[in-house]
Structure 1
Amino acid sequence: MAFNAIALLPEVTGAVPNVNDDAEHALFIQQASDAWASGQDPLDFWVPQVELGFPQFLYYQNLPHLVVVVLGKLTFGLISLRTLFDLVRYVLLVGFPLTVFWSMRRLGFSDVAAAIGAAAGSLLGGNHRYGFEYDSYVWRGLGVYTQIFGMHLSFLALAALHRVATRGTGIVVAALVCGALALSHLIYAYMAAITAVVLLLFGLTRANIAGRVLRFGAVGALAGVISAFMWVPFFAQAGYLDVSPYLDRTKYDSFGAPTILGWLASGDLLDHGRLPVLTALLGVGIVAALVTRARLLLLTLVLFVLWLVLYFGRPTLGPLADLLPLHEGLLFHRFIGGVDLFAILLIGAGGAYLWEIARFEVSPRRLAAVAAATAIVFVPVLAERWSYYSDNATWMRITQAAIAADTDLRSVMSALAGQSAGRAYAGLRSNWGDTLDFGIPFRSVRVYNVLTFDRVDAVAPPYRGASLNSDLLFDFNDQDPAQYRLFDVAYVIAPPSATLASGLVPVLSTPKYVLYRAPGGGYAEYAAISRSEAPKSQPEWFESARAWLRGGSATSWEFVRYAYRDSRPIDVPVPIAECPRPAISYQRAQPGRYDVLATCATDSAMVLKVTYHPNWHVTVDGHEVATFMVSPSYLAFALPAGQHFITAEYRSAPVKDSLFFLGAAVALGAIGSRIRLRVPRPRGWRTSIPSLREPILRARDLVLMNESVAGPALAVAIAAVAFLVLAPFTPRIAFNDGLGFDGRVYAWLTQALRGDHSVAVVPPWSFRLVPSAIVALSGLEVKLGFLLLDLLAALGSAWLLYRLLRHYAVSPALSLLAVGWWAVLPLGLRWALYYPVLPDTLGFFLLLALMVCALEGRFVVFGGILVVAALTRENLIALGPFLWLLHVRRDPVGVTLRSLGVGAPAVLVYLAVRFFPVVPPPPDFANWAERYQIDVNLRFVFENIDAHAWRYVLAAPLTLGMFFALPFAWPRRLAGFLRRELHWAYYVAMSFVVALVGGRDDDRYLYVLVPALAVFVFHIAPSSLWRSAWRVVALTALHLAAVRFLWPVGTSEAEYLQYTVSAMSVDRMVALVYFCGALALGGIAIARLDLGALSPARRAKAEASA
Structure 2
Amino acid sequence: MAFNAIALLPEVTGAVPNVNDDAEHALFIQQASDAWASGQDPLDFWVPQVELGFPQFLYYQNLPHLVVVVLGKLTFGLISLRTLFDLVRYVLLVGFPLTVFWSMRRLGFSDVAAAIGAAAGSLLGGNHRYGFEYDSYVWRGLGVYTQIFGMHLSFLALAALHRVATRGTGIVVAALVCGALALSHLIYAYMAAITAVVLLLFGLTRANIAGRVLRFGAVGALAGVISAFMWVPFFAQAGYLDVSPYLDRTKYDSFGAPTILGWLASGDLLDHGRLPVLTALLGVGIVAALVTRARLLLLTLVLFVLWLVLYFGRPTLGPLADLLPLHEGLLFHRFIGGVDLFAILLIGAGGAYLWELARFEVSPRRLAAVAAATAIVFVPVLAERWSYYSDNATWMRITQAAIAADTDLRSVMSALAGQSAGRAYAGLRSNWGDTLDFGIPFRSVRVYNVLTFDRVDAVAPPYRGASLNSDLLFDFNDQDPAQYRLFDVAYVIAPPSATLASGLVPVLSTPKYVLYRAPGGGYAEYAAISRSEAPKSQPEWFESARAWLRGGSATSWEFVRYAYRDARPIDVPVPIAECPRPAISYQRAQPGRYDVLATCATDSAMVLKVTYHPNWHVTVDGHEVATFMVSPSYLAFALPAGQHFITAEYRSAPVKDSLFFLGAAVALGAIGSRIRLRVPRPRGWRTTIPSLREPILRARDLVLMNESVAGPALAVAIAAVAFLVLAPFTPRIAFNDGLGFDGRVYAWLTQALRGDHSVAVVPPWSFRLVPSAIVALSGLEVKLGFLLLDLLAALGSAWLLYRLLRHYAVSPALSLLAVGWWAVLPLGLRWALYYPVLPDTLGFFLLLALMVCALEGRFVVFGGILVVAALTRENLIALGPFLWLLHVRRDPVGVTLRSLGVGAPAVLVYLAVRFFPVVPPPPDFANWAERYQIDVNLRFVFENIDAHAWRYVLAAPLTLGMFFALPFAWPRRLAGFLRRELHWAYYVAMSFVVALVGGRDDDRYLYVLVPALAVFVFHIAPSSLWRSAWRVVALTALHLAAVRFLWPVGTSEAEYLQYTVSAMSVDRMVALVYFCGALALGGIAIARLDLGALSPARRAKAEASA
For this structure pair, what is the TM-score category when the shorter chain's length is used for normalisation? 0.5 to 0.7
Distance 1:430 1:801, change over 3 A: same
Q: 1:208 to 1:779 in 2, by over 3 A?
A: closer
**CA 1:731–1:660: 2 relative to 1, 3 Å:** same
Between the two structures, name the one with larger relative contact order (CA 8 Å, sep ≥ 6): 1
- Does structure 1 residue 522 correspond to structure 2 residue 495? no
**Higher-Rg member (1/2):** 2
- Whole-Å separation in 2 of the counterparts to 1:125 and 1:653: 41
Residue 885 to residue 158, structure 1, CA distance change in 2 (3 Å): farther
Query: Is the 1:426–1:433 contact (alpha carbons within 8 Å) kept by the matching residues of 2?
Result: yes
Shift of 1:147: 0.1
Gap change, CA 1:1102 and 1:1052, over 3 Å in 2? closer
Unaligned runs of 5+ in 2: none
CA distance in 2 between partners of 1:674 and 1:99 (Å): 22
Distance 1:1093 1:173 in 2: 63
Cα deviations by residue, 1:881-930 (Å, 9 ceiling, x for unpaired): 99999999999999999999999999999999999999999999999999
Instruction: Give the whole-Å Cα distance in 2 for the aligned partners of 1:315 and 1:106.
Output: 37
**d(CA) in 1 for partners of 2:890 and 2:496?**
100
Task: Give, in angstroms, the shift of residue 567 of structure 1.
Answer: 1.4
Give the whole-Å Cα distance in 2 for the aligned partners of 1:39 and 1:566: 30
Distance in 1 (alpha carbons) for counterparts of 2:977 and 2:521: 70
* Displacement of 1:702: 60
Give the Å deviation of 1:683.
2.9
In 2, Cα distance between the equivalents of 1:831 and 1:423?
A: 39
For the residues of structure 2 that align with 1:744 and 1:16, how far apart are their CA atoms? 24
Contact 2:991 2:1005 in 1 (8 A): yes
Secondary structure of 1:830's counterpart equals helix
The answer to whether the Cα contact below 8 Å between 1:746 and 1:765 also exists between their aligned partners in 2 is yes
Q: Is the 8 A contact 1:496 1:512 kept in 2?
A: yes
Give distance in 2, aligned partners of 1:963 and 1:208: 71
| Residues 218, 1082 of structure 1: 8 Å contact kept | no
Do the aligned partners of 1:866 and 1:876 also contact (CA within 8 Å) in 2?
A: yes
Take 1:617 and 1:1104, find their aligned partners in 2: how far apart are those partners?
Answer: 72
Residues 166 and 745 (structure 1), Cα distance of their counterparts in 2 relative to 1, 3 Å cut: same
User: CA shift at 1:1072, angstroms?
Assistant: 50
- Return the alpha-carbon distance in structure 1 between the equivalents of residues 1100 and 224 of structure 2: 30
Does 2:1080 correspond to 1:1069?
no
- Distance in 2 (CA, whole Å) between partners of 1:243 and 1:941 is 66
Residue in 1 that maps onto 2:500? 500
Number of matched pairs: 1106
- Change in Cα spacing, 1:28 to 1:745, as seen in structure 2 (3 Å) is closer
SS of the aligned residue for 2:1047 comes to coil
The CA deviation at 1:160 is 0.2
Q: Which moved more, 1:876-885 or 1:264-273?
A: 876-885
* CA-to-aligned-CA distance 1:288-319 (integer Å, 9 cap, x gap): 00000000000000000000000000000000
Please report how far the alpha carbon of residue 1071 of structure 1 lies from its aligned counterpart in structure 2 after TM superposition. 50
Q: Does the Cα contact within 8 Å between 2:78 and 2:783 map onto a contact in 1?
A: no
Distance of 1:761 and 1:396 partners within structure 2:
33
Shift of the 451–838 alpha-carbon distance from structure 1 to 2, 3 Å rule, reads: closer
Alpha-carbon distance between aligned partners in 2 of 1:590 and 1:305, rounded to the nearest angstrom: 51
Question: Residue deviations 1:354-373, cap 9 Å, x none?
Answer: 00000000000000000000
Could you tell me whether the CA contact under 8 Å between 1:654 and 1:1047 is conserved in 2?
no
Q: Deviations over 1:33-84 (max 9, x none)?
A: 0000000000000000000000000000000000000000000000000000
CA gap of 1:1013–1:403, structure 2 versus 1, over 3 A, is closer
Change (3 A) 1:987 1:268: farther
- 1:1043–1:22: structure 2 CA closer, same or farther, 3 Å change rule? farther
The alpha-carbon deviation at position 834 of structure 1 amounts to: 44
- Return closer, same or farther for 1:43/1:828 CA change in 2, 3 Å cut-off: farther
Q: Separation in 1 of the partners of 2:890 and 2:468? A: 67
2:76–2:731: 8 Å Cα contact kept in structure 1? no
Structure 1 pair 105/560, CA: closer, same or farther in 2 (3 Å)?
Answer: same
CA distance in 1, matches of 2:396, 2:756: 80
Gaps of 5+ in 1: none
**Aligned-partner Cα distance in 1 for 2:575–2:795:** 51
Between the aligned partners of 2:881 and 2:442, the Cα distance in structure 1 is 83
1:556 matched to 2:562? The reply is: no
CA deviations on 1:642-675 (whole Å, 9 max, x unpaired) are: 0000000000001000000000000001011111
Shift of 1:611: 0.1
Q: Deviations over 1:572-604 (max 9, x none)?
A: 000000000000000000000000000000000
Q: Answer yes or no: is the 8 Å Cα contact 2:423–2:489 preserved in 1.
A: yes
User: Mean alpha-carbon deviation: is it higher for 629-638 or for 687-696?
Assistant: 687-696
1:407 maps to what in 2? 407
> In structure 2, what is the Cα distance between the partners aligned to 1:747 and 1:256?
58
Decide whether aligned partners of structure 1 residues 877 and 534 sit closer, same or farther in structure 2, where only a CA change above 3 A counts: farther
CA contact (8 A) 2:146 2:184 kept: yes
CA apart distance, 1:682: 3.8
Aligned to 2:40: 40
Residues 210 and 1093, structure 1, Cα contact 8 Å, conserved in 2: no
SS at match of 1:692: helix
Task: Tell which deviates more after alignment, 416-425 or 687-696.
Answer: 687-696
Evaluate the alpha carbon distance shift between residue 814 and residue 23 of structure 1 in structure 2; reply closer, same or farther with a 3 A threshold. Answer: same
CA gap 1:1067/1:219 in 2 versus in 1, 3 angstroms: farther
SS in 1 for 2:691: coil
CA distance in structure 2 between the aligned counterparts of 1:975 and 1:695, rounded to whole angstroms: 43
Tell me how far apart the structure 1 counterparts of residues 697 and 1070 of structure 2 sit (CA, whole Å). 47
Name the stretch that deviates more: 899-908 or 337-346: 899-908
Contact kept, 8 Å, 1:716 with 1:796, in 2: the verdict is yes
How far, CA to CA, are the matches of 1:417 and 1:912 in structure 2? 39
Seen in structure 2, the aligned counterparts of structure 1 residues 624 and 359 have a Cα distance that, compared at 3 Å, is same
1:71/1:702 Cα in 2 relative to 1: closer, same or farther (>3 Å)?
A: closer
Shift of the 732–235 alpha-carbon distance from structure 1 to 2, 3 Å rule, reads farther
Indicate how the Cα distance of structure 1 residues 696 and 923 shifts in structure 2: closer, same or farther if over 3 A, else same.
Answer: same
Distance 1:913 1:79 in 2: 33
How far apart in 2 are the matches of 1:572 and 1:933? 62
- In the alignment, the residues of structure 1 paired with residue 569 and residue 203 of structure 2 have an alpha-carbon distance, to the nearest angstrom, of 54
Going from structure 1 to structure 2, the CA distance change for 1:165 and 1:484 (only over 3 Å counts) comes to same
Q: SS where residue 690 of structure 2 aligns?
A: coil
Any conservation in 2 of the 1:191–1:335 contact (CA below 8 Å)?
Answer: yes
SS, match of residue 690 in structure 1: helix
804-813 or 1048-1057: bigger deviation: 804-813
Are the counterparts in 1 of residues 620 and 644 from structure 2 also a CA contact under 8 Å?
A: yes
Greater mean deviation of Cα atoms: 802-811 or 430-439: 802-811
How far apart are the structure 1 equivalents of 2:715 and 2:427?
69
TM-score of the pair, normalised by structure 2: 0.63
Aligned equivalents of 1:416 and 1:660: distance in 2? 39
Cα displacement string for residues 305-345 of structure 1 (whole angstroms, at most 9, x for unaligned residues) = 00000000000000000000000010000000000000000
Matches of 1:1078 and 1:337 in 2, distance apart?
66
Tell me how far 1:708 sits from its aligned partner.
76
Inter-CA distance 698–661: structure 2 relative to 1 (3 Å threshold): farther
CA distance in 2 between partners of 1:811 and 1:313 (Å): 80
Aligned counterparts of 2:80 and 2:873: Cα–Cα separation in 1: 64
Contact conserved, 1:567 with 1:1064, CA < 8 A, in 2? no
Conserved? CA contact 1:217–1:1085, under 8 Å: no
Q: What residue is the counterpart of 1:274 in the other structure?
A: 274
Give SS of 1:886's match.
helix
Q: Is 1:798 aligned to 2:807, yes or no?
A: no
What do residues 977-996 of structure 1 show as CA deviations (whole Å, max 9, x unaligned)?
99999999999999999999
Preserved CA contact (<8 Å) 1:566 1:1065: no
Q: Distance in 1 between matches of 2:1087 and 2:762?
A: 48
Change (3 A) 1:832 1:297: same
Deviations 1:578-633 (A, max 9, x none): 00000000000000000000000000000000000000000000000000000000
Counting aligned pairs with the same residue, the percent is 100
In 2: Cα distance, 1:828 partner to 1:204 partner: 65
Q: CA–CA distance in 2 between the matches of 1:959 and 1:551?
A: 68
Calculate the aligned-residue CA RMSD, in Å.
24.8
Does the C-alpha gap of structure 1 residues 763 and 662 become closer, same or farther in structure 2, counting only changes over 3 Å? farther
**Cα deviation, residue 678, structure 1:** 2.1
Higher alpha-carbon deviation: 874-883 or 782-791 = 874-883
Classify 1:338/1:567 alpha carbon distance in 2 versus 1 (closer, same or farther; 3 Å): same
Shift of 1:198: 0.1
Deviation of 1:677 (Å) = 1.9
CA drift at 1:679: 3.5
How far residue 568 of structure 1 moved from its aligned partner, in angstroms, is 1.4
User: Does the CA-based 8 Å contact 1:764-1:932 persist in structure 2?
Assistant: yes
Distance 2:641 2:835 in 1: 32
Q: Measured at CA, do residues 764 and 376 of structure 1 come closer, stay the same or move farther in structure 2, by a change above 3 Å?
A: closer
